[in-house]
Structure 1
Amino acid sequence: MEARAAITGPDHYSFRLALFERLRILMFFRVLFISLILGTSLLIQVKGFQNLQADVNISYYILLASAYIISILYAYLLKKLQDLSLLAYIQLLLDTVFITVLIYISGGIESIFSFLYVLSIITGSIILDKKGGVITASSSSILYGLVIDLQYYGVIHPLGSKIIQPELPNSAYLFFTVLINIGGFFLAGYLSGLLAEQVKRSRIELQTTKENLGQLEVLQKSIINSIASGLIVLDDNDNIILFNPAAEEMFEKKAYLAFERPVYEILPSVGKFLRNASQHTENRTYKESEMADLDFLRSDGYITHLRLYISSLKQISGKPKGRILVFQDVTQIKKIEEEKKRVEGLALVGELAAGIAHEIRNPMASISGSIEILKDEIAPNEINNRLIDIISREIDRLNRLVNDFLLFARPGESRVKSISLNKLIMESLELIQNSRHWNKNIKIFTKTHPHTIIESDPDQIRQVLWNLFINAVDAMENGGELHIETSPAKLLSEKETEGIRIVIRDTGRGFDEEGFSHLFMPFFTTKKAGSGLGLAIVKRIMDRLHGNIYGGNHPEGGAEITILLPLGMNISES
């Protein structure tokens, strides 16, 4: 009872369910056995065996009817009782009583039904383990010995017995018979209990192993479904036997459509590569690990760069039975590498060209000064004045180009301080309105957020605004509208940070396809007299300020440039 009391929760439910099923099986076989005895009795009676006494037949029927009634009661209690162990003990003990009565009415020591005790003992061990077997063996021994002793001493005379009192075996033979039977009972109880315990232990180990395998399978599926890399497993015929969700998204294929189909059919580009990489011989072997880069064209026309790792799928014996393909999307890595190469190249060329441009300034200054002297020395006339104006204008243009180039190559050291973006925008607008670039047919519309205080470099932000305003004014030769808007925003870099968004929009002609693809490329311009460094300088400065910039065309027409600046920037970062 203590052992059963300690079983709680799911284990208690499993124990009760198992005991319920065993008792049902016991009741079924009990009714089946009773029916077999009843059928045999009826058969004997129908065949007319005269040597059977009437009282024996009546006793048989009374016993069998009682057994049926008790079985019905068991079935009722099985559904009602909570403590099924108690019901199991009651059934086993009453079964030994039933067998004892059956032995009594079938001749006592002469009865052929003493073997039923052994079946009852084995049943006890199966239902209640070793304890049930020992208890059933003890009750069987007591009841069987009691019947034989009472018959020997003449207290009872079994109904089916053909032996009269003086003809009973001697005490030594009777003692030996009872001892052998009781020994057999306890031996059967011990062996069946031992076997039941081993079966129970094996069942528990099997259940534990099953649960562990189930958890391992769930973990395996979870890992396969969670990894960001595409995973495809092929059998030895290159049919797909695993296609994880990352591979589904990567190749725009559903796993159930790819399962057990050739990789050459589902992914022709991958299959073609595998065919070229594999040696199609009778004894094809795989390397331990192979790596390759592939380009995959998606349905939307976007090309993804994939890095493929190939390894062999091996059996326990170590013999290959397929291949494992692991795909990693390295598109962003490729872009970063290309951008890094471009930036490194620009930096190298910029440093070299900056030095050259710096040296150009000195002779340009000398030429400019000489022109001013010549202007005073030569005779003034229309041709001389026009030539001097051309030279002065071209010298100014070269100076601006050199200044722009130096600003692109060497933006200068950042000086971070607390500034108001709204104030900087208004100052820059005032500056552009008073410059020679301004067009009086342009109207300005501002929509600013009240909280635009950030930690950044005001001089570099002024340069950014100046370049963008110049581009917007140049794009509206016949006038138009210049819209400036500020609002809070979030910057997505290594981590999400708070920032301010500045949107500058004009109503000019906007970007054409070529201009949009080379938006921030240095030395690319659509202006007749432009240097192609305006937006490149803006991009370079935004990178130094840890901001973002992107552009496009507004749905209502005109170009739109969006700037994202972080609220704070450390001096060490700049």
Structure 2
Amino acid sequence: HWRALLLLRLLTALHFVSEIICEAGIVYTTGSFYSPYAALFLLTIVSAALVYRLVGTLLVATAVNGAYVAVVWINYGLLTGRPTPGAGVGALTGGDDTLFYSTFLHILIFYLVAFIAGYLAQKLQAKDRLLDSASAELYRARLATGDILRHLNSGLLTMTGRGEIIFFNHAAETILELGGTEVSGRDCRAVFAGRLGPLADGLLTALASGQRTARREINIRDAQGRPLPLGISTSILFDTDGAVRGLIAIFQDLTQAKVMEERMRQADRMAAVGELAACMAHEIRNPLAAISGSVEVLRNDLAVAGDDEKLMSLIITETGRLNKMLSDFLMYARVDRTRFQKIEVQRIISDTIEIIRRHPSFSETMRIEVQADTGLTFISGDADQIKQILLNLAVNACEALGAAGGVIQFGAAAITDPDGERMVALTVRDNGPGIPIDLLDKIFLPFFSTKKKGTGLGLAIVSRLIEAHHGRVEVSSILGHGTEFRLYFQGLGGDDGPARHAVEADFVSAVR
């Protein structure tokens, strides 16, 4: 690098030397002292100022003056002793001072131009350095600010007092599902139309209120039409006259926060319900058992018929239903401690299929299918509780299909979540009538049921048991096409022990 730099400087110096020699030759051949081309030296001095700045330019001016004086002296024979014809050596040695003062004036002009050009070039260089430094600082500031705004997990937007959007970060696009939409420079009412209308109304309300800072929650819908709660913090910007300049809004998706709040509320409710259930269990179940047993004895001892027989059957049926409801309620309120162990998913599914085939809600018009990994899949959990989860979902599917029948499909697959953790996804799917979208958020609530004789505890128990396994449940449904429940559990590594073929044989047998 230093050799290339040295060579460049040497070539530049040779270039200026060549220029001065050529210009001196032109001046000599065109009249020397009287030549109008002496101004060419000024071009060399000015161009040198762009390269060498002040000191270097003065050195080049010295070289120019030396060349100019040499040309004059050669022309008048002061160097050779033989003057050019008509030059008149006496002009320098005699009393005529014109040549002396003219030469002196040229030298002075050359130095003056060199000083001015070099000084201006040096100042320009200093300004360039300051400008470069300021540009670098501005770039770093913009880079840092831009990175911060782009990588915020919260949505951020700024808008003018007229509602025109100025800035819209990537998180805002993701939360509102507006990827690929040009937002900047557009009116918020045009951008946030339709499902995002409440957001535009909230922003404009904040602008109109003039309140410096505010916090509110609004409900919009995502691209699939599902409710999407947003928490928005707004700050109004004012100018020096107190007029509203614009608004800054930061917002977050509160879906997970709402889920956690609901879980905490349910946990609090269940803590109280559990204590109440323990006290009421014996007080209710014992009389129910006594009533049911007494009616059975009376029906066997007495020759009842007609309406009396129907009434006794109704009493026995209803006490049985109440006893089942109480059992479900106790199971929901007082979930037994989960005993984690290594569970073979295929065996759990096959056992569940065997049970559901013998369940009263299962009919010949229904068909069971399985889509699962061919190898053994293992999860960490309580086998009885996992079986209860699958059984509750399968019974729900049977009741949804009804007399018309249909397909119930079980699935199991090993997956890896975004954090790289090994998981197992279990699915229970049916092709029944489906669940309305406005009810999907309520189906896991206790005592919520769309069936006339439902207790509303089947899916609530599923949710509680999955929570006890530190898993999660997702549900999707399309009216007229069916419902799918997806259960995610902690996965474990498999092995190829002697039991593998036996388990697979049981699994295939159960499916058939």
TM-score range, shorter chain: 0.7 to 0.9
Question: What is the CA deviation profile of residues 327-354 of structure 1, one whole-angstrom value per residue up to 9, with x for unaligned ones?
Answer: 4143424532552355245424533542
Residue pair 1:485, 1:504 contacting (<8 A) in 2 also: yes
Question: What is the CA deviation profile of residues 118-141 of structure 1, one whole-angstrom value per residue up to 9, with x for unaligned ones?
Answer: 564344323443465244323333
Question: What is the CA deviation profile of residues 93-152 of structure 1, one whole-angstrom value per residue up to 9, with x for unaligned ones?
Answer: 42244335545262xxxx787676556434432344346524432333333443555537
Is 1:305 matched up with 2:233?
A: no
CA distance in 1, matches of 2:167, 2:51: 45
Distance 1:239 1:295, change over 3 A: same
Q: Cα distance, 1:418 vs. partner?
A: 1.2
Secondary structure of 2:421's aligned partner: strand
CA distance in 1, matches of 2:403, 2:285: 39
Aligned pair partner of 1:339 in 259, 262, 265:
262
Is 1:104 matched up with 2:29?
A: no
Give the structure 2 partner of residue 549 of structure 1: 473
Give the structure 2 partner of residue 459 of structure 1: 384
Q: Cα distance, 1:240 vs. partner?
A: 4.0
Structure 1 alignment gaps of length 5 or more? 16-81, 570-574
Give the structure 2 partner of residue 155 of structure 1: 81
Is 1:380 matched up with 2:306?
A: no
Aligned pair partner of 1:486 in 388, 393, 411:
411
Counterpart code for 2:303? N
Instruction: Count residues with an aligned counterpart.
Output: 483
Distance 1:467 1:277, change over 3 A: closer
**Correspondence 1:120-135 to 2 at 5 A:** 120-130=44-54, 132-135=56-59
Secondary structure of 1:465's aligned partner: helix
Counterpart code for 1:467? N
Distance 1:441 1:357, change over 3 A: farther
Is 1:350 matched up with 2:273?
A: yes
Question: What is the CA deviation profile of residues 162-192 of structure 1, one whole-angstrom value per residue up to 9, with x for unaligned ones?
Answer: x562884369998888677656655654554
Which is worse superposed, 466-475 or 422-431? 466-475
Residue pair 2:415, 2:423 contacting (<8 A) in 1 also: yes
Q: TM-score by structure 1 length?
A: 0.66
RMSD over aligned Cα atoms: 4.8
CA distance in 1, matches of 2:443, 2:338: 25
Is 1:91 matched up with 2:14?
A: no
Distance 1:159 1:557, change over 3 A: same
**Correspondence 1:420-569 to 2 at 5 A:** 420-433=344-357, 439=363, 444-449=368-373, 450-475=375-400, 478=403, 480=405, 483-490=408-415, 492=417, 495=419, 497-505=421-429, 511=435, 518-551=442-475, 560-568=484-492
Counterpart code for 1:375? V
Aligned pair partner of 1:292 in 210, 216, 221:
216
Give the structure 1 partner of residue 342 of structure 2: 418
Residue pair 1:501, 1:563 contacting (<8 A) in 2 also: yes
Is 1:367 matched up with 2:286?
A: no
Q: Cα distance, 1:159 vs. partner?
A: 5.9
Residue pair 1:480, 1:506 contacting (<8 A) in 2 also: no
CA distance in 1, matches of 2:155, 2:225: 20
Question: What is the CA deviation profile of residues 429-469 of structure 1, one whole-angstrom value per residue up to 9, with x for unaligned ones?
Answer: 33444566665665544454332222211110121233234
CA distance in 2, matches of 1:90, 1:448: 87
Distance 1:387 1:557, change over 3 A: same
CA distance in 1, matches of 2:44, 2:108: 15
Aligned pair partner of 1:330 in 242, 246, 253:
253
Counterpart code for 1:193? G
CA distance in 2, matches of 1:542, 1:560: 16
Counterpart code for 2:62? S
CA distance in 2, matches of 1:183, 1:177: 10
Residue pair 1:100, 1:143 contacting (<8 A) in 2 also: no
Distance 1:371 1:443, change over 3 A: same
Structure 2 alignment gaps of length 5 or more? 494-512
> Whose relative contact order is higher, 1 or 2, with alpha carbons under 8 Å and at least 6 apart?
2
Q: TM-score by structure 2 length?
A: 0.73
Distance 1:476 1:291, change over 3 A: closer
Secondary structure of 2:352's aligned partner: helix
CA distance in 2, matches of 1:295, 1:418: 42
Residue pair 2:274, 2:333 contacting (<8 A) in 1 also: yes
Residue pair 1:491, 1:564 contacting (<8 A) in 2 also: no
Q: Cα distance, 1:5 vs. partner?
A: 1.0
Distance 1:471 1:184, change over 3 A: closer
Give the structure 2 partner of residue 63 of structure 1: none
Residue pair 1:503, 1:561 contacting (<8 A) in 2 also: yes
Q: Cα distance, 1:407 vs. partner?
A: 0.7
